[in-house]
Chains A and B, each alone.
Chain A
Amino acid sequence: MQRIGVFVCWCGSNIAATVDVDRVVAEAKVQPNVVFAQDYQYMCSEAGQGIIRNAIAEHKLTGVVVCSCSPRMHENTFRKAAERAGLNPYMVEIANIREHCSWIHKDKEEGTEKACVLMRAAVAKVLLNSPLKAGESKVTKRALVIGGGIAGIQTALDIADAGFEVDIVEKRATIGGRMAQLDKTFPTLDCSACILTPKMVEAAANEKVKLYTYSEVESVGGFVGNFHVKIRKKARYVKDDICTGCGACMAKCPSKKGLNEFNMNLNNRPAIYIPFAQAIPNVAVIDPEQCVKLKTGKCGLCEKVCTAGAIDYTQKDEIIEEEYGAIVMATGFQPIDASKFDEYSYSTCPDVVTSLELERLMNAAGPTGGVLLKPSDKTHPKSITFIQCVGSRDVSGRGKCYCSKICCMYTAKHAMLIRDKYPDVEVHVFYIDVRTPGKNFDEFYRRAVEQYDVDYIKGQVGKVYEEDGHLVVQGVDLIANEQIILNTDMVVLATAIEPDPTARKVASMLTASIDTNDFITEAHPKLRPVESPTAGIFLSGVCQGPKDIPETVSQAGAAAAKVIGLLAKDKLLTNPCVSHSNELLCNGCSCCEKVCPYGAISYEDKLINDHGVRETRRVCVVNEALCQGCGACTVVCPSGAMDLKGFSNKQIMAEVDAICR
């Protein structure tokens, strides 16, 4: 006969304020087979776990029900406690009386009643539990990093440093990401390229790191420790092992009207191009939409001038298949489209630019060679106005509800750099709040105001328009409580940042959850910030939420540490709560195979002894290493042959019965 112990947690006042724990204990004591019940303030604490261990020993418990928080929080804690006392860990059930009960109810009477019901269901279920044993699976000691910006590069370098092989998949033709486009970095004003390009070179030179640039992840299969990934290496039309990056083709290409993405489309590039001088790999790529040869079959100039013979117009996309133990998402961000906010006239006035465009306009390698000129007439601006929070903290529904976090600091940087290089230029900044939490950040902002005389105006801008050959900014000064009409030569919009548009697609391939803004969700916002709830998937950089370079690099290192911790293991324990099929009931209909998202189900012809009748039947076989225990097959099986260990149909019906009793 089963001997069940019930343990009711107060969770401080989280549960005890809305649930009468004494009543839950009293009710538990009268449940069938329950031989022990007790409450405690914090069941997850060492003392609380001690109560459970002692009770298992003293009352010879065969099963345990803990009425506490979500199993996602502490199921593992209590399973381990039971195991230490000699009980099979899968003989522990959690009744979630916090997230499912006390947190969502206000009335104590209602809360208590529901807690009792949930407790009864868990007791009914545990009575049908059977001891399970976790299996083992191997770990492929190789990691994949998706995205080759500073986040991806740093993660890869740190993983490689621990001796593991790591591949970076980058959709653009070069690694470097957004940071490569920046001129200077706050709060130290060191040159972005000077600190990034050595890391790019290091990534290329490191024998443990393999770069797949101009490539995208095509599909992901498998599970933690054993991911199977297909990578699409897009056709460059240039053999990357032969190209020397001399640039002769770029000079000769007659089709020069392509928009230079690296310079935020502010100037043009030829159809065959190297994204920028320090690109890694330093290999040309042909834009097939623009190349005359690829579109019409006539031209071929680049092939003629290429002394290395690297041009190959017949190149096709290539699919590469690789095995990985862990995958890191580092897909980064893009600035939001400023033309959604046309009160600032971004789509009609060339002298209204975004902050990232300004980075290129200030950069020595940018379209103006680092001389700040108005895009409209290439003259020197006398006055520049910055508008903060364009699309951030937005209540109009056109932008993002969140603070993009980096804009206050980069705007202070821009303002300061402009005042330093061109002291004759007047600089105004319209802001809602100036947010500068970070080491040496507020000092940096104060320097812009006090040392560089940047005119900070608290208030928002209603309209930017062109009149009599210059721009007019119509805004409000909330401190002076007056309308401001400013004549200015250039307007810079501090546009919000949003996850790169590929993030959603990549996340769904990885079954990593995303939030309403398409940022990837952490397994726990405080305690597991670099892991996805999906085992083996880790997060690095802005794909998880807005952050600056120092924070990105720290998080990249943290993600690498988690990956290293995983890859250092030779074997992983697998979840024993997997499907299994009753061969006597299975009729080989293939329904379960069709719904299995993990490819864990196959069929074989087997000799079956059905009550003395021997015959060969086609029956289902579950690969327990691949099965993730989702239960889809158990629902779809028409003959009731499929069942899930730990969540059997019988157990679930017993829970329903207990709830309805």
Chain B
Amino acid sequence: MTYSYYPGCTLKTKAKDLDHYGRLCAEALGITLEEIEEWQCCGAVYPLAQDEIATRLSSVRTLMAARDKGQALVTLCSACHHVLTRVNNDMAGNDNIRTKANNYLQPAVPYAGETRVLHYLQMLKECVGFDELAKKVVNPLKGRKIGAYYGCMILRPAKEMAFDDPENPTIIEEFIKALGAEAVVYPMRNECCGGYVTVKDADLAKKRVAKIMHSAKDKGAEELITACPLCLYNLQANAGADAVPVTYITELLAEALGLK
């Protein structure tokens, strides 16, 4: 199976492991990820203003590139996935935004949200299946107690992201179980890490992360995994007394598949 792949800026700089192991594992699982040519930044933050068109354009270009190749678009970074999914929804359902974006870009074929945007985890579930994935594990992570950290970007707004139940998500837990480890469910796994606020008010991010770490530890997690570079940064930089190690989902996958 071949997908268009959008790594995004952070995966080329701060979060190289997320990207590197993601590609490595995909290849090992027989999935071809074709990086979009000359991709641009997704915009990083989804513009909430309805009349803000220019900041959506780079995402539209990426979505259109996938459409032109007739492929679904796979992302890894939670923030990129969030922005691309929502801009895609706008192009499919918002007449005003679709018309203006197309008028500006003047593509040969106007874009109307035809591309299917998938997160790497959804791709694994859909293309490989967690039962099949379990069979491909060479280093079962037996005895490891791992907590999933979802953060907000891939879950909310739930209706738009259509990713998982935002209050009681399960996909990363299924992923952890497939790799042979014990998935620790803890209530703060879908709470915000502080996000970009850490730049302006590190104390606030510290408070948030302390709560998350405490909750994870309280329920017995010995390590956490996440798909989001910003979450990983906050969880590592702002953890307090209860800190547990945090890695990317693709690193864990690579470990289980014997690629790390």
The residues of A with any CB-CB pair to B shorter than 8 Å are 339, 341-343, 345, 347-348, 397, 463, 465-468
Contacts and interface: CB of A to CB of B under 8 A. Distances in A.
B188 interface: yes
B185 A467 contact: no
A467 B168 contact: no
B187 A463 contact: yes
Given A341-B167, A342-B165, A463-B187, 6 more contacts: A339-B168, A342-B167, A342-B168, A347-B168, A348-B187, A465-B187
Contacts of A348: 168, 185, 187
A465 B188 contact: yes
B218 interface: yes
Contacts of A341: 167
B167 A467 contact: no
A468 B214 CA distance: 9
Contacts of B165: 342
A208 to B, nearest CB: 51
A329 B26 CA distance: 58
Contact of A345 (B159, B187, B191, B214): B187
Main secondary structure of the interface of B (DSSP, over half): helix
A465 B215 contact: yes
B159 A397 contact: yes
A343 B167 contact: yes
B187 A467 contact: yes
Contacts of B187: 345, 348, 463, 465-467
A345 B215 CA distance: 14
A336 to B, nearest CB: 15
A592 B159 CA distance: 47
A341 to B, nearest CB: 7
Nearest to A346: B168
A342 B215 CA distance: 17
Contacts of A468: 218
Contacts of B188: 465
Nearest to A345: B187
Contacts of B215: 465, 467
A467 B218 contact: yes
Nearest to B188: A465
Contacts of B191: 463
Interface string B149-171: 00000000001000001011000
A463 B152 CA distance: 14
A343 to B, nearest CB: 4
A466 B167 CA distance: 14
A536 B251 CA distance: 68
Contacts of A347: 168
Contacts of A467: 187, 214-215, 218
A348 B173 CA distance: 14
A343 B169 CA distance: 11
Interface string B208-222: 000000110010000
Nearest to A468: B218
Contacts of A466: 187
Contacts of A342: 165, 167-168
Contacts of B168: 339, 342, 345, 347-348
A397 B162 CA distance: 14
5 contacts: A339-B168, A341-B167, A342-B165, A397-B159, A463-B187
B123 to A, nearest CB: 25
A307 B22 CA distance: 70
Contacts of B218: 467-468
Interface in B166-204: 167-168, 185, 187-188, 191
Contacts of A463: 187, 191
Contacts of A339: 168
A341 B185 CA distance: 17
A463 B187 CA distance: 9
A345 B188 CA distance: 12
Nearest to A347: B168
A345 B185 CA distance: 12
Closest 7 CB pairs of A and B: A465-B187, A342-B167, A342-B168, A343-B167, A467-B218, A468-B218, A467-B215
